[in-house]
Structure 1
Amino acid sequence: MSATFRSLSIPNYRIWFGGALVSNVGTWMQRVAQDWLVLSVLTAGSGVAVGITTGLQFLPMLLLGPYAGLVADRVDKRRLLMLTQGLSGLWGLVLGVLVVTGSAQLWHVYVLAALLGITTAFDAPARQTFVAALVPPENLPNAVGLNSAAFNGARLVGPGIAGLLIAAFGTGPVFLINAVTFMATVVALVLMRTDELRPMPLAARGKGQVREGLRYVKGRPEIVLVLVVMGTVGTLGMNFQLTTALVATGVFDKGAQEYGLLGSILAIGSLSGALLAARRERPRLRLVLGAAGAFGVSAIVAASMPTYWSFAIALIPVGLTALTLMTAANAMVQTTTEPAMRGRVMALYMMIFMGGTPIGSPLIGLVGDVFGARWTIYLGGISALVVTVGAVLYVLRRDDLRIRYRLHQTPHLQVLNAAERSAAHASLDAESARAGRTAA
């Protein structure tokens, strides 16, 4: 088996991957249907209403993240995931029934989005860290990359399927299908060979454990820097389900099928980025910062496209850079964190990355209503560039680094610390001395 897919040789991970892929298809279908229900059925194209819905879905991550991470460190993650995945399916079922029966109102969507958000707040840190029980430590970056591939492979087909179903039958059946797909993950968890799961230390009950997690992160400046970058980009730049909906309807006057297609095209780049990430042995901070800067540039380019199809094609590099950023940041934080602290650290990571959406989504919706849909994407691209430049300058100053570019040397771009600069100067002086003796 190739290095890209090596974790799939492990039976438990293979079962998990299959169940997650099915569930993720349903999740992406619901995201498209939920936004379309609010944007085109329950309101007259209100970007603010879509932003509020998305915000309510992610607000619990912001409020409950640290405690949810502690729960993930304390309890059996497999059992916790069975509960959270089952509840997520239930919320989809209720919304589907309301829509099919013609009873759905905007406040129903708000309440169910909040309930799904509460469930996801506890599901996310357990799901992120459970992969460490499925594969050996050396395979963890690969498994994280393949998880992202499953998520974005689902994004490739889910929005397109949702668009076709919405055009043919409305949004109700999409929610019902999503409710069924959550059971795929539950079945996968039941079928696993529990004797082959890698033991994961559980945190004993005690006082101050949430603060202990915060102190641990505070003492890790590289993790803090990743959190700052991901918080900024996640809050203002990665609200794709909202921004593409606004651009599709407000700029190009397109319907559900074309909106769904944008999600699938975005996923082409995301899936490519995930597969490339699965080949990397150990992502580093420079990859996180480089991907954040590249995302900012590609988002600005996409927002400037004059036609629907040029915009759609420009979303491919947006997806690739976004996924590279997310996967590199996730793998770097997980692989450099002590196992007993991983749930709390990953919960803080998810809280900052996803929990900023309640702030960003209404703001982005307002920007779209006031300045136009294109500016919802410009805002994300510009903010990504600003935080990347700030982070690079901080690292250069903290570590006394210098960036050097040499056209006729390989590698062309070098980042040198003080010792490396001294060695380079000494080598250059020696070479100059030899050249002088030769000339003499």
Structure 2
Amino acid sequence: MLIAGGAFRDRQFRLFFGGVFFAVQAIWIQRVTLGWLAWERTGSARVVGLVAALSLLPTLFAGPFFGVLADRVDIRRASLVTNGLMAVVLAGLAMVAGQVGALGLGAAALAIGVISAAHHPVRMSLGPRLVSGDMVQHVVSATALNFNIARLVAPVFAGWIIATSGGGTALWIAAICYVPMLAVLPVLQPRALAPRAPSPFLRDLREGIAHAWTTPLIRQALLITLVFATVARGALEVLPVLADGGFGRGAAGLGFLTGAAGAGALASAVMKAAGVGAVGARIPMAVWAAAITGQGAVVAMGLAPSWPLALLATALAGFCSTWCGVSLQSAIQTDLPDGLRGRVMSLWVVVGFGTVAIGSLGIGVLADGFGISTALAIAGALGAAAMGGVAMGVRSRANRPM
């Protein structure tokens, strides 16, 4: 039986999961569509990377501030606002999808990025507060499984819709996918936070950062995520360039390439949901191995001599990405007090999503100058070296006399 099955015995979580199921489809449809429209309108890897970066950069800078707010506001109402705004932006972009250029796509991506910066700490706080503390790891596993099912199905579906009906139709479908979540949120009753005296905003922010840095398991999880997200996840954001610029496969090829990453991610998520490689008091070797292997997969994506091998390398990158992501988020979330959840998880979002903006933009710039193959190979090699440096730093700190 899947370990995630325990969370589904809770009616509130079942409702939450039903809404999130469709909302996550929207995330992947929107990602694929924005990336493809940027490539279709400009043919520039730099613009593809920039659009991806603009949808992620606000998280890098504003995420921690929204994390403080998530620990202060009504979490259910906050989720209504962020989901509703995302639907409105996608619907607005869908209306002008036939005429929008690079500037309009960049503006839409930036708006999505700002909303996402607020949405991620809200989403990561809401789910765990619907269940008892012993079910938090189950919630993380179940939501990761859902995320990666969508990662497998939605990109292929989006590629087909784009190829047959255009990007505008794909964006309308993404907007509609937020409706179920907006419908279930009013009936949810998340656990209330313990009362506490009002404190200055910056003091709350510092408290969250201090808790993350002084807790060894959280600090290590954040450092690993920082390197992995910048390179491996950054590479997965420029798949339009690899699909069409590298192999001439068009929108359908982008769907299959992104679907390959989703297939690897789904296999990893199923294993994690079944309890394989559970995280305890320290980061297990399987996570370190996946972190290094993921960088090698990025190199292989760039150097793959054929389409099937590119799909295989992308699937491996997706597998490693999810293995690291679920393991490290579980490590952080399991014993995290509700009153710190928004702030600490906003830091995880910064290094897990925000730094992807830097990686995708950097790979896009390299691809324009040297080609996508060379860009991915360089990025993967640098990522592997950085991950080795993190491992050495962790080992040195562990061996330091108390």
| Shorter-chain TM-score tier | over 0.9
1-structure distance, mates of 2:220, 2:3: 30
Given the alignment of the two structures, is residue 109 of structure 1 paired with residue 105 of structure 2, yes or no?
yes
1-structure distance, mates of 2:314, 2:180: 30
Question: Normalized against structure 2, the TM-score is what?
Answer: 0.92
Question: What's the CA shift for 1:214?
Answer: 1.8
Q: What amino acid does structure 1 have at the position aligned with 2:57?
A: L
- The 8 Å contact of residues 86 and 175 in structure 2, kept in 1 or not, is answered as yes
1-structure distance, mates of 2:3, 2:220: 30
Matches within 5 A, 1:52-63: 52-63=50-61
From 52, 71, 82, the equivalent of 2:80 is: 82
From 213, 230, 235, the equivalent of 2:225 is: 230
Alignment deviations for residues 157-213 of structure 1 (CA, whole Å, 9 cap, x no partner): 111111111111110111111111112211121243x2xx43333665312211222
- The 8 Å contact of residues 235 and 359 in structure 2, kept in 1 or not, is answered as no
Q: What amino acid does structure 2 have at the position aligned with 1:33?
A: T
1-structure distance, mates of 2:263, 2:37: 25
From 252, 261, 278, the equivalent of 1:257 is: 252
Give the corresponding residue for 1:294.
293
1-structure distance, mates of 2:357, 2:85: 22
- The 8 Å contact of residues 33 and 174 in structure 1, kept in 2 or not, is answered as yes
- The 8 Å contact of residues 243 and 377 in structure 1, kept in 2 or not, is answered as no
- The 8 Å contact of residues 81 and 126 in structure 1, kept in 2 or not, is answered as yes
Give the corresponding residue for 1:96.
94
Q: Percent identity, aligned pairs only?
A: 27
Q: What amino acid does structure 2 have at the position aligned with 1:90?
A: V
Matches within 5 A, 1:209-224: 209-224=204-219
1-structure distance, mates of 2:345, 2:196: 15
1-structure distance, mates of 2:26, 2:264: 20
Matches within 5 A, 1:98-137: 98-99=96-97, 102-137=98-133
2-structure distance, mates of 1:317, 1:143: 25
Matches within 5 A, 1:405-424: none
Extract unaligned runs of 5+ from structure 1. 402-416, 418-440
Number of residue-to-residue matches in the alignment: 396
Give the corresponding residue for 1:153.
149
2-structure distance, mates of 1:359, 1:396: 27
1:277–1:66: structure 2 CA closer, same or farther, 3 Å change rule?
same
- The 8 Å contact of residues 235 and 363 in structure 2, kept in 1 or not, is answered as no
Alignment deviations for residues 339-358 of structure 1 (CA, whole Å, 9 cap, x no partner): 21121111111112212233
Given the alignment of the two structures, is residue 200 of structure 1 paired with residue 193 of structure 2, yes or no?
yes
Alignment deviations for residues 48-68 of structure 1 (CA, whole Å, 9 cap, x no partner): 111111111112111211110
Question: What's the CA shift for 1:2?
Answer: 4.0
Alignment deviations for residues 4-29 of structure 1 (CA, whole Å, 9 cap, x no partner): 42212211111111211111112211
1-structure distance, mates of 2:384, 2:138: 28
2-structure distance, mates of 1:129, 1:370: 41
1-structure distance, mates of 2:102, 2:394: 46
1:107–1:237: structure 2 CA closer, same or farther, 3 Å change rule?
same
Matches within 5 A, 1:290-439: 290-400=289-399
Q: Which moved more, 1:319-328 or 1:336-345?
A: 336-345
SS of structure 2 residue aligned to 1:199: coil
Q: Pairwise CA RMSD of aligned residues?
A: 2.1
Given the alignment of the two structures, is residue 162 of structure 1 paired with residue 162 of structure 2, yes or no?
no
2-structure distance, mates of 1:266, 1:241: 8
2-structure distance, mates of 1:306, 1:96: 37
- The 8 Å contact of residues 291 and 320 in structure 2, kept in 1 or not, is answered as yes
- The 8 Å contact of residues 19 and 184 in structure 2, kept in 1 or not, is answered as yes
1-structure distance, mates of 2:305, 2:390: 32
Q: What amino acid does structure 2 have at the position aligned with 1:224?
A: R
Give the corresponding residue for 1:277.
272
SS of structure 1 residue aligned to 2:56: helix
Q: Which moved more, 1:25-34 or 1:4-13?
A: 4-13
1:170–1:203: structure 2 CA closer, same or farther, 3 Å change rule?
farther
1:380–1:136: structure 2 CA closer, same or farther, 3 Å change rule?
farther
- The 8 Å contact of residues 28 and 159 in structure 1, kept in 2 or not, is answered as yes
Q: What amino acid does structure 2 have at the position aligned with 1:85?
A: N
Give the corresponding residue for 1:413.
none
SS of structure 2 residue aligned to 1:239: helix
Alignment deviations for residues 288-334 of structure 1 (CA, whole Å, 9 cap, x no partner): 32321221233333333211122112322221111000111111111
Q: What amino acid does structure 2 have at the position aligned with 1:320?
A: F
1:110–1:203: structure 2 CA closer, same or farther, 3 Å change rule?
farther
